[in-house]
Structure 1
Amino acid sequence: MPQDPSPPLTPAVLSALRTGTHTLHVALEQRLPFFSATLDRAHYTRLLSAYFGFYQPLEDALLHSAFIPEGFDLQARLKTQALVQDLQALGDDPGALPRCHTLPALHSEACVLGVLYVLEGATLGGNILRKQIAQHLGLDTHSGGSFLYVYGEDTGRRWKTFMAFLGSVQLDEHAQREAVHAACSTFSCFEQWLECQEVLI
C-alpha cells in the first residue's frame, strides 16, 4: 500500500531564522501600537513617519549593496514609496523626516538575506494590521494604508515565493549564523529607532 508523501522539509536557514529571531520578533510585536485603543490618526502618522525613517535608509543601503543574491528582484520588494504615498495622504512631508543611521550590516549575501527575511515577514504581517487600521481609523490604501497592503492580494503568494528563494540559496553553517545575526540586528535596530522616535507602547 503506498504511503502518504512526507511534507517538504523546512530549509535549515529558515528554521534557524525563525528560531533565532523569535524572542526579538515577539518583543517588538508586543510594543507596536497598532491594536492600542489610544491609537489615533496623529499617532499613526508619527508611527509611519518612524517606519519611513528606518525603511528609507535601509532600502537605499540594499539598493547599493554588492551582495544582493543573483536572481532576486529587489526593486519589486521595495516599500519606501508606499510609505511616501501614505505620509503625503496623511499630510506629512517625508523629505523633512529624520533618518535612522544605525542599520544592520550588509557585508555578505547571507546578511542581506537575513535583513530581507525580516522586511518580508513584516510585509506579511501588515496584512493583519491594515484590517485593524481600516476598522479603527477608517484608512484605506488611498488615504494612508498602502504600506500595510503594499503587495495587495499577492501578499501570501509573494511570501511563499520569498521563502522558496531563501531555501534555494546554498548557505553553509557560518553563512546561516550570519543571516540570523543580521535578522536579529534588523529587529534590534528597528526597535531602538522606534523607541527613539517615541512611538512604541
Structure 2
Amino acid sequence: MGIEAGLLKELREKTRTEHTRIESVLRLTHPMSAARYAGVMAGFHEFLWRWEPRVAAALPAHLRDWSAKRKRSGFAADDLRQLGAPHTPHLAHAAERAVRSIPMADVAGALGSMYVIEGSALGGQVITPLLRQHLGLTPSTGASYFHGHGPATAAMWRDFREVIARELGDDAAAARSACHSAQRTFAALCELFEEVPA
C-alpha cells in the first residue's frame, strides 16, 4: 500500500502543472456550444483510436485483456455519430503527431500514459451531468464518452492503481519513465486540443 501511495503521489505531483494546463485548454466544466463539444469529441476519438493500440503493444501479454476492457474510443465514436459531427482532417493530423510524441517503449511508459487517460475517466463522471445541463445530452444521445463505464469507474480506477503499483513496484527508473510518459501525454493532449476552435 505504501508503494502504491508513493508512486501515485509522485505521478500526481510530477504532472500537476500539466494537469492544470489541460483543464485550462479544455474548459469542460464551462458551458460550451454544440460545435465546440463536437470538436472536443472528435479530438478524443482521433487520439484514442491511435493511442490504444500503442498502449497494448507496449504492455506485457498478461495485461492486454485487462487494458482492452478499459478502451473508450468506441464511446467517442458513438458520440460523434449521435452528434452528426463532420470529419476533421486537421485534428486527425494533430492526433497522429500527439500520439507519436508519447514515449511508450516499455510497460512503465505505457502505464504512465494510461494514468492520464484513466484519471480523466474519473473527471468524466463530473462532466456528464454538466453536458445534460448545458447541452441536453445524455449517455445515449452524445455523452457516452464522459459517462464511460458509469458506476464502475471508481472501482476501475482503484484497480488501475493496484496494477500500476504491482507492475512497477519500487523501481525508481520505472517510476521516472512513468512520470515522463504521463507528462508527455498531458502535453500531447494540450497540443491537440489547442487545435479545437474555442
TM tier, smaller = 0.7 to 0.9
Residue segments in structure 2 that go unaligned for 5+ positions in a row: none
Equivalent residue, structure 2, for 1:57: 50
Residue segments in structure 1 that go unaligned for 5+ positions in a row: 1-7
- TM-score by length of structure 1 reads 0.87
Distance in structure 2 (CA, Å) of the matches to 1:150 and 1:35: 17
Equivalent residue, structure 2, for 1:124: 122
- TM-score by length of structure 2 reads 0.88
Query: Which aligned pairs between 1:61-80 and structure 2 lie closer than 5 A?
Result: 61-63=54-56, 65-68=57-60, 70-71=62-63, 73-80=66-73
Return the match for 1:108 from 106, 109, 121. 106
Q: How many residues align?
A: 190
Quickly say closer, same or farther: Cα 1:98–1:66, change in 2 above 3 A.
Answer: closer
Larger % of helix: which?
Answer: 2
Q: Which amino acid aligns with 1:105?
A: P
Quickly say closer, same or farther: Cα 1:80–1:95, change in 2 above 3 A.
Answer: farther
**Do the aligned residues in 2 keep the contact of 1:67 with 1:107 (CA within 8 Å)?**
no
**Do the aligned residues in 1 keep the contact of 2:46 with 2:92 (CA within 8 Å)?**
yes
**Do the aligned residues in 2 keep the contact of 1:114 with 1:180 (CA within 8 Å)?**
yes
Quickly say closer, same or farther: Cα 1:69–1:18, change in 2 above 3 A.
Answer: farther
Q: Secondary structure at the match of 2:178?
A: helix
Distance in structure 2 (CA, Å) of the matches to 1:66 and 1:56: 15
Q: Which moved more, 1:81-90 or 1:19-28?
A: 19-28
Q: Which amino acid aligns with 1:117?
A: Y
**Do the aligned residues in 2 keep the contact of 1:84 with 1:94 (CA within 8 Å)?**
no
Q: Secondary structure at the match of 2:62?
A: coil
* Aligned-pair CA distance for 1:94: 6.0
What is the root-mean-square deviation in Å for CA atoms of aligned residues? 1.9
Query: Which aligned pairs between 1:136-155 and structure 2 lie closer than 5 A?
Result: 136-155=134-153
Distance in structure 2 (CA, Å) of the matches to 1:71 and 1:86: 28
Quickly say closer, same or farther: Cα 1:174–1:69, change in 2 above 3 A.
Answer: farther
Distance in structure 2 (CA, Å) of the matches to 1:40 and 1:84: 19
Percent same amino acid among aligned pairs? Answer: 26
* Aligned-pair CA distance for 1:134: 1.0
